[in-house]
Structure 1
Amino acid sequence: MKREIERRRNLPAFSLDLAELDLLWQRLLKLFDGDGYLHSEITINLNRSESLSFNSVEEIKDYKLVASSASDFTLSISKGGKSIRLMTSLSFFNRAVVLARGEDEAWCAGGIEVVVSFLQNHKCWYRMLALMPFGVLLVIMTNLPTVLGIYKDGNKISTFMFVAWILILVVFGILAVFRNKFFPSGRLIFTREENVVKRYSAEITLAIAVFAAVVAALSWLMPMK
């Protein structure tokens, strides 16, 4: 009889450079002691048609990557009946997850704890925004004027209010479509981005969203014309 236990844990959005990734990688390798064949692989998906596989972090450092970062990658180590996988996601749910399999429940729990404790110091500031349902918020904001009865009895909204409302719809629409790009569940940094706009795209997008919300709130407090 063979017993297999699987444990998984959702992870907060995180960011690692190659030195930090190497430190995590070494800690994970220490979980696999004893004899036997060790399989280790780091898979980086640069886009839908290009993926790269490496056996170590050193191979990534030696490879001349054109991209400055990646948000879709998987770390995988297995030996015998034990395995650990850390996966980021560009799916609708935008979740990073660590998965441990083995015959010993204590080993699985320990492997997950190694990842969780390490990432505590590497969480992204936008980790809550990465899980926010911007698509649902877009639907709510689209129907908000009707729900609040703003158009009731032939009322007309001011140009200021209309522009603010449209601005919020545009921002939420962009965030709903490109949430994984602005707020990825995991980010692997190869080189520090020189393009300031690209480097701070999440902060800029959030600032625009906050500005639009403030403008809308002020416009709704003003008398309608």
Structure 2
Amino acid sequence: MTDRNIEDSDIESAPKLIEVVFQNCKGQVDQWVEPYLRLTIDRLQRAETSYLKSLLIQVVANMLYYNPGLTLGVLHNTGLASTVFDHWFQMLQQKRKSGLPANFKREHDKKVCCLGLTSLLALPGGQFPDEALQRVFRATLDLLVAYKNQIAEAAKETEVDYENELNGLESDEDDDDDGSDGEMGMDDTEEGDEAESKKLKKLAAQVCQMLFIDIPCQL
């Protein structure tokens, strides 16, 4: 992360590992908030690819989810709070020509950002300026809408894939019926059942992958 000679694409695993630490070690790694936060922001200011920038911002979001008071205190003490949140909100507002978000494209990305931002809302009054809270509210609402729409779209695609699979199975069964011989009916049925079972197992695996991939255990 600190080596200026290493390309962005070669360190993408580093922020992912930091993310795992703060998601799964709640209350156990307070001493690492400041050093990891400084490390992350330093790299964020030098990052060139949008994907790495998104990963680094998610490190900040995970730290806020881990301990919002401690993380925000470190940001204020280092004078980097405005820099980080301005960068974050700017990335959230960026759109592609299609109108879709240019950053934080995965469901996981949106979920982590939502958890980080909503953690700020639980802080006692006065720790976060009113103007900043308004920006947090707007950004969170936009994220939640985008997250909900993305989940609905994924569910719709899964349903279409499932229907296509079923239609394919019915078509296969019709073909088997047309070419079946009376004496071989039992064998054809068994083969059809076996093929159907394999297809359903494959479909179930795809659905499980779509539902659980990239979703951390504590989120």
TM-score above 0.5, yes or no: no
Answer 1 or 2: higher relative contact order, Cα 8 Å, separation at least 6: 1
Structure with greater strand percent: 1
TM-score (norm 2): 0.29
TM-score (norm 1): 0.29
